[in-house]
Amino acid sequence: MLKYTALITGGALSASFTSVFLSGCSKPETDTSELHFFGEDAFERVSLMADTILPRTDSPSATDVNVHHTIDTMIGLVFDMDFKTSFREQWEELELFLDDRNFLNLSQSERVELVRSIELNNGVCTSSAKRAYTELKQQTIAYYLTTEEIGKNYLNYLPIPGDYRPTITIDEVNNRAWTI
């Protein structure tokens, strides 16, 4: 899963994310309206960014499975203070970039193009803003893939594994990745 996340985001996972992800944290509650790290305006941007990264298709969007709440909870309650301080500075740069481009009022296709410009890093934003985006993208993908909804209903899921077969064809697993 970590390898696929790194491949999807085009880089290595940050050390802070990896340490928290591998620590076996319990699943945070996602039904609370209390925010732990982001303010309401910033949380709206996080929600839109998450849905731009993973929009609703034949599977739920990132916010449909509460990834935005998980990100807020993990950063606010689990990550260490050094990470929080660094991420807050980077996030402020990303917010300025998004606000300058009226991100909240863009259509989905316009948001995708804006995110693509950050991805390609054609000098459109600062390196701090790009780091904040990369961290947000990594968390969005990782938390999405580890939700119960996605794991059980959209990936191959075997609560009690059967025989180990080291070589199988992709057709034998319905062209789906395995849940961890």
- Average pLDDT on 147-172 reads 83
- In degrees to the nearest 10, what's the CA dihedral of 45, 48, 52, 58? 160
57-79: pLDDT as tens digits: 999 999 999 999 999 999 999 99
Q: What is the DSSP string of 100-111?
A: HTTGGGS-HHHH
Helices and strands in the chain: count of H runs, count of E runs: 8, 0
Both tokens of residue 84?
Answer: 């929080």
Among 143, 164, 139, 165, which residue's Cα sits nearest to residue 131?
Answer: 139
22-62: pLDDT as tens digits: 544 444 444 446 899 999 999 999 999 999 999 999 999 99
What pLDDT shows up at residue 157?
76
Does the pTM of the predicted model rise above 0.85? no
Both tokens of residue 81?
Answer: 């203070």
Query: Any idea where the domains of the chain sit in the sequence?
Result: 2-173
